[in-house]
Amino acid sequence: MVVEVGSRLRGEFIRRLSLRGRRSVWEPAYLYFQQERERAILALLGRHGFNPMTNTKVLEIGCGSGAVLADFLRFGVPPSNAIGIDVDERRVADASERYPQLEFRHADAARMPFPDRSFDLVLAFTVFSSIPDPAHRSLVANEVLRVLRPGGAVLWYDFWINPINSETKALGIAEIRRLFGREPTEARRITLAPPIARLLAKRSWIACELLSKVLIFRTHWLALVRA
């Protein structure tokens, strides 16, 4: 069963990597996603004591090509305080090549090679929706809590709805509660539905901003969960 789950995870992560490789800040919709999400993340972290981040130790699980973790260097995290892990060796190699100043490791988030209480912030960006088995999701969540320091937090960004991709499991606040055994400190829905953004961003940034105010068109939860 573990082998089967791992195989499915790797297949989904490889598929996502191939999609990410076609994305670029020159694409208006992708640029809109990035800027919208970055504003929301910085505001959330700032409200909860993560500014400045010069002493914050950050771990990203399911780091992929490393782009998310690299964003946190711009947010003030020193390269020596940032680590990314992924189950796919090719993704780890790609991330290491793109961002040689950062540390990336081939590791399973359900069995992390770190001591207890090692990190202040764990990033989980579209990771749990890629784990089909609830028991496996629980293993990963338990490991995340284990490596977090007291007062640390999980920064969660994941789908609550994704009708286009049957390989992912849309997850809501109830699943966050189940996995971590507590309410998020703060949670809000963000990210304009990609099909809408791809249609509108190249024509009207203002239209994207207006439609993103409509809650039903926001496809992801951004949440902070304290350890």
Point out which residues pair with 188 in neighbouring strands: 222
Average the pLDDT over 177-194 and give the result.
96
Has this prediction a pTM greater than 0.85? yes
Tokens for 190?
Answer: 């963000």
Of the candidates 164, 190, 154, the one whose C-alpha atom is nearest the C-alpha of residue 58 is: 154
The per-residue pLDDT for 173 is 96
Query: Taking 80 as the threshold, does the pLDDT of residue 24 lie above it?
Result: no
Model pLDDT for residues 124-164, shown as the tens digit of each residue = 999 999 999 999 999 999 999 999 999 999 999 999 987 66
Higher pLDDT pick, 42 / 2: 42
Q: Give CB contacts under 8 A, 24+ apart, made by 34-41.
A: 36/190, 36/191, 36/192, 36/212, 37/157, 37/190, 37/191, 37/222, 38/71, 40/188, 40/190, 40/222, 41/75, 41/155, 41/157, 41/222
Of the candidates 18, 8, 12, 5, the one whose C-alpha atom is nearest the C-alpha of residue 94 is: 18
| Residue ranges of domains in the chain, CATH in brackets | 2-226 (3.40.50.150)
Higher pLDDT pick, 94 / 161: 94
